[in-house]
Amino acid sequence: MISRKAIGRSFPQAIPITFNIEKKDRAPCRLTCPAGINVQGYIQLIGQKKYDQAASLVMEKAPFPGVLGRVCPHPCEAECRRKLVDKPIAIKELKRFAADRAHLETKELPDIVDRKEKIAVIGAGPAGLTAAYFLRLKGYQVTVFEKLPVPGGMLKTGIPDFRLPPDILDKEINIILAHGISLVPNTAFGSDITFESLKQDGFDAVFLSSGAHESLSLGLEGEDTIEGVIDAISFLRDINLGQKTDCGQKVMIVGGGNVAIDAARCAKRIGSADVSIVYRRTRDEMPAYEEEIIGALEENIDIFTLTAPMKIISKEGRVTGIECIKNELGEMDDSGRRRPVNILGSEFMIECDTLIPAIGQKTDLSWTDAMPGLEITNYNRIKTHPVTLQTSLDNVFAGGDMVTGPATVIEAIAQGRKAAGGIDNYINRIETDPIKTNQVEPDQLENKIKQGLNGEVYADIPVNTKVEERACVQFLDPEKKGSIL
Ligand SMILES: Cc1cc2nc3c(=O)[nH]c(=O)nc-3n(C[C@H](O)[C@H](O)[C@H](O)COP(=O)(O)OP(=O)(O)OC[C@H]3O[C@@H](n4cnc5c(N)ncnc54)[C@H](O)[C@@H]3O)c2cc1C
Ligand code: SF4
């Protein structure tokens, strides 16, 4: 008996000689990428030095290859089968490698067959710009309304320039807009424009993607009134837009995510000598990316773990310090992590001139009052259909952080593309079911990968596959790292 291979002749005597390719599923990296990027495809193209084609292949699913090559948390690498031999393939870095060598800005634009329908996109973050891009490719007249003077969303105003250089971001935004998308900056949905005004202006559908820009508060007395307390999102926005160049010598940040680490590293770069972070659980539980935590420690930022803020200390209306308490880990909480519990009597003081709470964000939904019938979830997010991202209002779709809660760039991009499909089907009166997003929903993912790794889908790894040393990404010496100013 002969064993069947993935590529083979249907039967030996076949004339002409033809081969069949049997593909049971996509690779785990592609299944895990929220946008379903063809990882193997673009890595093959890089191997052939076809950088433009590699970046273009990424753009088929996500129009931000250079951005993702720098900031994506690369869940795909965690499932890469190469890790069974040595280390996962450096999928994220290879994307950056291709994007930095490609010249997509000089590439001829595709022929777009114009349609008359107008779509309004609210918010020029990754979700909004991605939806705009894929809608435009389908021929729609797309206008993106942005509250701020510049597009990019958190890519521009949240993630600091030393992690995501502005020229890389601007180049990719310009490529998207060059497809014939109108951008209207300095225009807030809910005040400058409304759902009603968009209808009167003849828009056939609206995509809401205004992100989650309101910082959660610590709930401490005086947080809103004491001078020197500034929330992390405003702090980072002011720095990224060049409006803040000083925050005192002693800065304290509360939180353990990327936002907290970014705020701390920015404070260092604008000249604060003494920057510390207070986090209520242990370092292992910090949600920030490991490389960011290492970066902060290398830059002499102190991280006080198992510590919680209790009281803001002020003098003449200005913050001078914060009283903290040490924690220990108790029982598991709803998140599956052990609950931090205060150790009574362990209170201590940390002096500071600036206090920056960075414990999470939510969406400003004040404008929803003017959209009766728009359903909101218990988590204060816009409720959408899981496949089409259509809201409870027929011609309104929503995606990105305002639907998922604060998440990642690639998830926002995936939602933008999904919504473009949903809006296209809505305009063309196609029912929901036939939509093919090619994306695996998170609840199906684990099973799919398990099936694959059980040998049901993927071929076994040959026993004598060589373990190979591979180049690693080099990090600059902290002294040599670029300033953001
Ligand atoms: C400091 C920080 C660091 C991060 N680091 C990473 C990282 O390293 N990797 C990663 O994958 N993710 C990271 N994220 C998360 C990521 O940036 C977000 O998940 C992503 O940007 C969400 O995209 P979005 O399009 O939904 O929203 P946003 O990017 O927030 O864009 C929304 C846009 O809508 C605009 N807007 C808001 N209200 C209105 C209105 N009323 N009218 C018109 N426009 C409006 C906003 O100004 C903004 O431009 C980080 C986030 C922050 C804050
Ligand atoms: S976008 Fe992120 S998750 Fe998707 S393939 Fe690239 S690195 Fe992996």
CA nearest ligand 2 atom 5, residue? 33
Alpha-carbon span 69 to 402, nearest angstrom: 24
Tell me what pLDDT residue 336 has.
Answer: 81
Q: What number does the ligand 2 atom closest to the CA of 77 have?
A: 8
Alpha-carbon span 425 to 432, nearest angstrom: 7
Alpha-carbon span 466 to 471, nearest angstrom: 16
pLDDT at 436 over 70: no
58 close to ligand 2 (CB < 6 Angstrom) = no
Percent residues over pLDDT 70 in the chain: 88
Peptide bond preceding 28 in cis form (omega within 30 of 0): no
What's the mean pLDDT in 279-288?
94
CA distances from 126 to 109, 152, 251, 417, 465 (A): 20, 7, 30, 10, 39
One-letter amino acid of 133:
Y
pLDDT at 169 over 50: yes
Alpha-carbon span 39 to 54, nearest angstrom: 9
> CATH number of the domain at 118-213+363-427, out of 1.10.3720.10, 3.50.50.60, 1.10.150.20, 3.40.50.12780?
3.50.50.60
Alpha-carbon span 105 to 178, nearest angstrom: 9
Ligand nearest the Cα of residue 91 is 2
pLDDT at 24 over 50: yes
Return the number of other C-beta atoms located less than 10 Å from residue 1's C-beta. Answer: 3
231 close to ligand 1 (CB < 6 Angstrom) = no
CB 223 within 8 A of CB 215: no
CA nearest ligand 2 atom 2, residue? 74
CA nearest ligand 1 atom 38, residue? 210
| Residue recorded with tokens 């599923």 | 25
pLDDT tens digit sequence for 316-336: 999 999 999 999 999 988 878
401 close to ligand 1 (CB < 6 Angstrom) = yes
pLDDT at 8 over 90: no
Give residue limits of the domains in the chain.
118-213+363-427, 215-362
Q: Residue 120 pairs with which residues in a beta bridge?
A: 143, 206
Distance 406 CA to ligand 1 centre (A): 8
One-letter amino acid of 340:
P
Q: What number does the ligand 2 atom closest to the CA of 75 have?
A: 3
pLDDT at 156 over 80: yes
pLDDT at 435 over 50: no
How is residue 37 written in tokens? 């990027």
Distance 341 CA to ligand 1 centre (A): 32
pLDDT band (50, 70, 90) for residue 462: confident
What's the mean pLDDT in 199-222?
97
CA nearest ligand 1 atom 21, residue? 154
Which of the pair, 6 or 468, is modelled with greater confidence? 468
pLDDT tens digit sequence for 372-403: 999 999 999 999 999 999 999 999 999 999 99
> CATH number of the domain at 215-362, out of 3.50.50.60, 1.10.10.10, 3.40.50.261, 3.30.70.80?
3.50.50.60
Q: Tell me, yes or no, if the two domains 118-213+363-427 and 215-362 fold the same way.
A: yes
Alpha-carbon span 65 to 36, nearest angstrom: 13
The length of the chain is: 485
Task: Provide the mean pLDDT of the chain.
Answer: 91
236 close to ligand 1 (CB < 6 Angstrom) = yes
Tell me what pLDDT residue 13 has.
Answer: 72
What's the mean pLDDT in 142-161?
97
- Of 66-80, 115-129, 445-459, 468-482, where does mean pLDDT reach its minimum? 445-459
Q: Determine phi and psi for 417, rounding to 5 degrees.
A: -70, -40
How is residue 483 written in tokens? 């300033």
73 close to ligand 2 (CB < 6 Angstrom) = no
pLDDT at 50 over 90: yes
Ligand nearest the Cα of residue 126 is 1
pLDDT tens digit sequence for 248-270: 999 999 999 999 999 999 999 99
What's the mean pLDDT in 202-213?
98
Sign of CA dihedral 86, 88, 93, 95: positive
What's the mean pLDDT in 79-99?
93
Q: What number does the ligand 1 atom closest to the CA of 400 have?
A: 26
pLDDT at 93 over 90: yes
pLDDT at 301 over 90: yes
Percent residues over pLDDT 90 in the chain: 78
